[in-house]
């Protein structure tokens, strides 16, 4: 015999189960309209895969699982999808959500199913996929997708697989009737789950107030290794962590799930649904729901199609609205009051309690906490409800969190025993909601900060890049400029600066002026000075010629590169040319006299150097001419003229040298003769 442990606290409220547990599960029938919320489970809502106007068959998938934590939704009966719209759904907020509406045709025509005689022929993964496709979510009340929960934990092995048949909450008898009538299905469903998880042991925990169910399960599990454990009746022994404590003596640590300590807990109704899904291929389209409370004439358990409007269901069973105090979905301890009765039954609706004023009287007004400590005595999670109350009330959420607020299972035991009628659980729910909100806000603000900082960084980076680009461009431009300048300088060293040229021209003009004066001067000069004048004139001629040729070159260059300057230079060149002509004239004038007056004339050396210079220049000019012939045809004519002049100059210089040579020879010969 297995040792049964006890958990801290707990209460013994009036059970009120016999009202509904006496009759067998009856089919509730097909309502004219089915309303199927897309979210009946924890996780993401399912995604519709039908269109308005489609005809759907019983068991046909109408919305598929969307996202990792989600389950599919199926048509509970055949009919036509008449709408997909926002409808009120059973939720504590009383708000509405997206629903698929099916107008049933009453034929209840099944779609094709894929049954499986032997689940052992399937791999565990195939079974898990079928469970997901069948839309099974935990049917005990929370509605967590069963497929996700059944995934074997990655690190730990599941040692103990527990089926929860405790059903500790007053009034509810759905699991009780299910265990009595369909014990085989539950046992076979547990075997399928065990096939996936391969646990060390399988245990079904039942409270001792359900002897018929215990007997039925014992009968069904006779040939198996499944252990049926009877536990003492105490609320909330059906809480997952409490049942684990009772059956194994282990406690699930704060912030962990049972799988972390090698335990998994499933509801008995979930096991039955898994069996039907695998064996017959039937998706989860109906469930056993307890209809109880004094406002319902025919109390009992019914097999209700998911999506059946509660209003219709109540009317079918004789709803005495005028007697009613509250309509509660779920049990009186953990369920919630429905604002309206036009909401549908969903996968987690295990009980509808239409309570009279006598059953659920309006509560007493809350009074001040007297610090009696009864709440902490009954708390099954071993918390300090009083402290949590103060913190929640004073909005000291951080302190409430430090007092393990999130370990509270909201069982309501503390509120039940509170002599001051303080709605303690309301405070905890409020505080939990606020803390979640604060956490969500914090997350969002962190995200916003990250995005903001990233943006700042990006803007900064873009600025820098722009700056770098601008700099690179400026540098490239400067380089190009420098290269251009250099090229220009190489091509024509003369026009380095036009200012210099202007100055040169100015200087040339002045010199011409001086020459004019000098020209006048020799006329007055005596014979002695004439030789000197001739000599200086010749020098002048040479320099003038030099300048002239230079100017001409510059002018030619300017013609190519700088047309404006070329015009100015052209005039300068002509004046320079005139100058040269004038000096030549002077020389020729003086030359006659000179040869007569001073036969020696300029020394032979000078004449020779003159000749050399002249021939060099001629050669240069010829080269330029050659070049011009190829590249600048317009310049050829001028150059040819210049070359002609130079030739005459060279011949002149040669003649002069010859003349100078001959008299010398003559004198030498005469001297030698003499």
Q: Which residues contact other proteins (rule: CB under 8 A)?
A: 89, 91-97, 311, 314, 319, 321-322, 324-328, 330-341, 357, 360, 362-366, 393, 410-412, 415-416, 418, 421, 423-427, 429-430, 432-434, 436-437, 441, 444-449, 451-452, 454-456
Q: Quick check: 204 and 165 in contact, CB under 8 A?
A: yes
First-to-last C-alpha distance (Å) of the chain: 169
d(CA 618, CA 558): 22
In whole angstroms, how close is the CB of 392 to other proteins at the nearest point?
8
DSSP secondary structure, 416-475, as one string? HH-TT---HHHHHHHHHHHHHHHHHHHHHHHHHHHHHHHHHHHHHHHHHHHHHHHHHHHH
User: Which residue, 37, 292, 21, is CA-closest to 143?
Assistant: 37
Strand partners for 80:
55, 103
Comparison of 447 and 585: residue with beta carbon closer to other proteins: 447
Q: Kindly tell me which of 280 and 357 has the beta carbon lying closer to other proteins.
A: 357
Closest CA to 327 of 317, 316, 337, 342: 337
For the record, the structure tokens of 221 come out as 């599990």
**C-beta closer to other proteins: residue 109 or 434:** 434
Smallest distance, other proteins to C-beta of residue 376, A: 16
What is the nearest approach in angstroms of other proteins to the Cβ of residue 18?
21
Task: Please give the radius of gyration of the chain, using alpha carbons only, rounded to the nearest integer.
Answer: 58
Rounded Cα–Cα distance for residues 97 and 162 (Å): 34
* DSSP of 160-180: EEEEEE---STT--HHHHHHH
On whether the CB atoms of residues 37 and 63 are closer than 8 A, the answer is no
Of 348, 18, 21, the residue nearest 177 (C-alpha): 21
Residue closer to other proteins (CB basis): 95 or 480: 95
> Which is closer to other proteins, CB of 427 or CB of 548?
427
From the CB of 461, what's the least distance to other proteins, in Å?
14
Rounded CA separation 228/152 (Å): 23
SS3 of 67-80: CCCCCCEECCCCEE
Residue 571: exposed, middle, or buried by beta-carbon count in 10 A (0-12, 13-18, 19+)?
exposed
Q: Which is nearer to other proteins, 46 or 220 (CB)?
A: 46
Q: Which is nearer to other proteins, 435 or 492 (CB)?
A: 435
CA distances to 165, 184, 216, 416 from 220, rounded to whole Å, are 15, 5, 6, 37
Residues 6+ apart with CB under 8 A from 172: 17, 20, 290, 292, 330, 331, 350, 351
Minimal distance, residue 453 CB to other proteins, in Å: 8
Return the number of the residue (275 or 427) whose C-beta is nearest other proteins.
427
Q: Are 120 and 185 in contact (CB under 8 A)?
A: no
The nearest distance, CB 568 to other proteins, in angstroms, is 54
Phi, psi (deg, nearest 5) at residue 642: -65, -40
Per the CB < 8 A criterion, the answer to whether 329 and 341 are in contact is no
168 vs 179 by CB, closer to other proteins: 168
Looking at beta carbons only, is 191 or 294 nearer to other proteins?
294
The DSSP string of 505-549 is HHHHHHHHHHHHHHHHHHHHS-HHHHHHHHHHHHHHHHHHHHHHH
Smallest distance, other proteins to C-beta of residue 124, A: 32
Which pairs count as long-range contacts for 552-558, CB under 8 Å and 24+ apart, including other chains? 552/638, 552/642, 553/494, 553/624, 554/492, 554/494, 554/495, 554/501, 556/632, 556/635, 557/491, 557/492, 557/494, 557/495, 558/495
- What one-character DSSP code corresponds to residue 223? T
The minimum distance between CB 243 and other proteins, in angstroms, equals 20
Q: Return the number of the residue (91 or 550) whose C-beta is nearest other proteins.
A: 91
Q: Closest approach of Cβ 362 to other proteins, in Å?
A: 7
Minimum gap (Å) between residue 478 Cβ and other proteins:
33
| CA atoms of 353 and 363, how far apart (whole Å) | 17
In the bound state with other proteins, the residue whose beta carbon lies nearer, of 59 and 385, is 385
Considering beta carbons, is residue 437 or 631 the nearer one to other proteins?
437
- Least distance from C-beta 133 to other proteins, angstroms? 24
Beta carbon of residue 365, minimum distance to other proteins (angstroms, whole number): 5
**Cβ atoms within 10 Å of 530's Cβ, excluding its own:** 16
Q: Would you say 255 or 365 has its CB closer to other proteins?
A: 365
Report helix, strand or coil for 329.
strand
Q: Which is nearer to other proteins, 10 or 258 (CB)?
A: 10
| Least separation in angstroms between CB 91 and other proteins | 6
Whichever of 94 and 152 has its CB closer to other proteins, that residue is 94
Distance CA 543, CA 516 (A): 15
Provide, rounded to whole angstroms, the least separation between the CB of residue 236 and other proteins: 11
Least distance to other proteins from the beta carbon of 273, Å? 25
For the chain, how long is the longest CA-to-CA vector? 178
535 CB-near residues (< 8 Å, 6+ apart): 602
Residue (55 or 91) nearer to other proteins, CB: 91
Q: How far is CA 475 from CA 147, 461, 472, 489, in A?
A: 67, 21, 5, 21
Strand partners, 48: 63
Shortest CB 432 distance to other proteins, Å: 8
Distance of closest approach, residue 561 Cβ to other proteins, in angstroms: 46
């Amino acid at each position: 015999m297995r040792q049964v442990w006890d958990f801290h606290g707990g209460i013994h409220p009036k059970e009120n189960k016999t009202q509904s547990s006496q009759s067998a599960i009856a089919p509730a029938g097909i309502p004219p309209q089915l309303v199927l919320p897309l979210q009946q489970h924890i996780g993401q809502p399912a995604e519709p895969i039908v269109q308005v106007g489609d005809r759907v068959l019983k068991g046909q998938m109408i919305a598929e699982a969307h996202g990792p934590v989600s389950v599919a939704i199926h048509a509970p009966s055949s009919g036509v999808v008449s709408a997909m719209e926002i409808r009120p759904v059973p939720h504590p907020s009383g708000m509405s959500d997206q629903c698929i509406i099916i107008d049933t045709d009453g034929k209840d025509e099944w779609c094709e199913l894929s049954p499986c005689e032997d689940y052992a022929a399937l791999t565990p993964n195939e079974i898990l996929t079928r469970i997901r496709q069948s839309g099974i979510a935990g049917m005990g009340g929370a509605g967590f997708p069963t497929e996700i929960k059944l995934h074997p934990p990655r690190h730990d092995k599941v040692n103990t697989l527990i089926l929860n048949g405790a059903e500790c909450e007053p009034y509810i008898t759905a699991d009780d009737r299910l265990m009595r009538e369909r014990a085989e299905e539950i046992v076979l469903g547990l075997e399928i789950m065990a096939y996936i998880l391969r646990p060390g042991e399988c245990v079904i925990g039942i409270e001792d107030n359900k002897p018929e169910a215990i007997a039925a399960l014992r009968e069904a599990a006779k040939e198996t290794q499944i252990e049926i454990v009877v536990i003492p009746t105490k609320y909330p022994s059906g809480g997952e962590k409490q049942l684990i404590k009772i059956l194994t003596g282990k406690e699930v640590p704060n912030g962990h799930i049972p799988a972390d300590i090698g335990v998994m807990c499933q509801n008995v109704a979930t096991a039955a649904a898994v069996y039907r899904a695998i064996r017959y291929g039937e998706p989860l389209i109906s469930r056993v729901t307890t209809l109880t409370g004094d406002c319902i004439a025919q109390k009992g358990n019914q097999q209700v199609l998911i999506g059946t409007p509660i209003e219709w269901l109540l009317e079918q069973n004789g709803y005495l609205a005028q007697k009613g105090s509250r309509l509660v979905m779920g049990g009186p301890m953990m369920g919630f009051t429905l604002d309206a009765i036009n909401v549908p039954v969903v996968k987690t609706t295990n009980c509808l309690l239409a309570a009279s004023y006598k059953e659920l009287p309006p509560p007493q007004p809350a009074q001040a906490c007297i610090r009696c400590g009864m709440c902490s005595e009954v708390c099954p999670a071993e918390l300090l409800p009083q402290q949590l109350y103060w913190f929640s009330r004073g909005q000291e959420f951080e302190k409430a969190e430090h007092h393990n607020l999130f370990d509270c299972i909201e069982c309501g035991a503390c509120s039940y025993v509170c002599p001051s009628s303080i709605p303690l659980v309301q405070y905890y729910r409020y505080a939990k909601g606020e803390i979640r909100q604060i956490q969500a806000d914090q997350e969002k603000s962190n995200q916003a900060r990250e995005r903001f900082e990233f943006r700042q960084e990006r803007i900064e980076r873009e600025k820098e890049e722009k700056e770098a680009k601008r700099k690179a461009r400026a540098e490239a431009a400067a380089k190009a400029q420098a290269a251009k300048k250099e090229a220009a300088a190489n091509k024509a060293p003369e026009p380095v600066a036009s200012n210099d040229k202007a100055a040169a021209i100015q200087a040339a003009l002045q010199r011409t002026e001086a020459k004019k004066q000098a020209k006048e001067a020799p006329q007055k000069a005596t014979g002695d000075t004439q030789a000197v004048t001739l000599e200086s004139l010749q020098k002048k001629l040479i320099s003038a010629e030099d300048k002239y040729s230079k100017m001409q070159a510059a002018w030619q260059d300017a013609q190519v590169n700088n047309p404006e300057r070329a015009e100015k230079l052209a005039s300068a060149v002509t004046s320079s040319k005139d100058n040269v002509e004038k000096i030549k004239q002077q020389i020729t004038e003086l030359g006659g006299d000179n040869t007569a007056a001073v036969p020696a004339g300029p020394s032979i050396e000078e004449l020779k150097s003159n000749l050399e210079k002249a021939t060099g220049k001629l050669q240069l000019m010829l080269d330029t001419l050659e070049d011009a012939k190829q590249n600048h045809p317009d310049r050829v004519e001028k150059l040819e003229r210049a070359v002609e002049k130079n030739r005459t100059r060279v011949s002149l210089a040669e003649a002069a040298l010859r003349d100078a040579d001959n008299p010398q020879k003559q004198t030498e010969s005469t001297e030698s003769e003499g």
